[in-house]
Structure 1
Amino acid sequence: MINELKVGDKIPHFTLQDQNGNNFNSATDTLGITTVIYFYPKDESGVCTKEACAFRDSYQDFTDAGIQVLGINGAGIESHKTFAEKNRLPFKLLSDPGNKVIKQFGVKKALFLTGRETFVLNDKGIVIYKFRDFFKGAAHAKEVLEFLKTK
């Protein structure tokens, strides 16, 4: 059984590579900065593309608030690089081979695909908000921005 991260939990330590082959270390690269991590099933699928583009279209709102955005799924670096370039994604997409990190976060599968869930972390790596909706990918950025306005 997978333990599900809840609001108030500290995220697990992980190191993954982004679409450019650079390491991202959760222990150091989330400290001191509010971070949005969204897990999504597949590069180039319809709902996932809408979700990524919604974060892209809201990216200035996030950066103006000093917030970094990260997308994570099990696809390889090359797939992420192609997806990011094709859709002009200005944020990091992290490759999670074997879906180890998605399992550490406790993101539930939907149908036969890995899940779609978004987490907001405070500057100490603690989950302060989460949103899950498998079929409404574009809603993730909007829901996070609404939450951040209330905080």
Structure 2
Amino acid sequence: MPSTPKVGDVLGEFRLPGGQLDGETFHRGDYSLHEQRGKPVVLAFYPGDDTPVCTAQLCSYSDGLEQLQSAGAAVWGISAQDVDSHERFARSRRLRMPLLSDADREVARSFGITAPLIGLRRSVFIVDAAGRLHWKHVTAVGATFPPAATLAAQLATLPA
């Protein structure tokens, strides 16, 4: 299994299906890391839709979305559930960031965060505008996550 990327590494390209809730409409599409070049991206990998810690994490990021976007960042939630599950999750919790489906866990494997039983370890990666890893938080067990304020503070350290 690959190890997690190191701060400063240029991350490989990936494209995943997903969707984003906008009002009452859930817009589906593909999300490409390469197409985000020129602005930072927060990649929040989480084990599962509608689980207690994952719900707290994604609700925290959705509630803090303006703070994260004010740094110019896109925020993506990524897990192995399909896009239909993500739509139900987004609608039930009014989540406003895109939720992406890594159904075969290929992207999670490339980040070195797959785990037995839970599928993947809760992890957050901040990618800078050039596609380099700026910051990461990878849990061993998965019960903790960095709050939106921590992510905003890390985004504030990126060059303008």
Q: TM-score, normalised by structure 2?
A: 0.86
SS of the equivalent of 1:69 reads strand
Q: Is the CA contact (8 Å cut-off) linking 1:15 and 1:24 kept in structure 2?
A: yes
* Mapped pair 1:103 → 2:113: no
Structure 2: 5+ residue stretches without partners: 20-26
Q: Is the CA contact (8 Å cut-off) linking 1:17 and 1:77 kept in structure 2?
A: yes
- Structure (1/2) with the larger helix percentage: 1
| Matched positions, count | 148
Percent of pairs with identical residues: 29
Q: TM-score, normalised by structure 1?
A: 0.90
Shift in alpha-carbon separation, 1:100–1:140, aligned structure 2, 3 A? farther
SS of the equivalent of 1:61 reads helix
SS of the equivalent of 1:56 reads helix
1:1-151 correspondence to structure 2 within 5 Å: 1-19=1-19, 20-28=27-35, 30-109=36-115, 112-113=117-118, 114-133=120-139, 134-137=142-145, 139-151=146-158
Greater shift in the superposed pair: 127-136 or 48-57: 127-136
Structure 1: 5+ residue stretches without partners: none
SS of the equivalent of 2:4 reads coil
- Structure (1/2) with the larger strand percentage: 2
Distance 1:131 1:146 in 2: 14
The one-letter code sitting in structure 2 at the alignment partner of 1:144 is L
Shift in alpha-carbon separation, 1:27–1:150, aligned structure 2, 3 A? closer
CA RMSD of aligned residues (A): 1.5
Q: Is the CA contact (8 Å cut-off) linking 1:131 and 1:140 kept in structure 2?
A: no
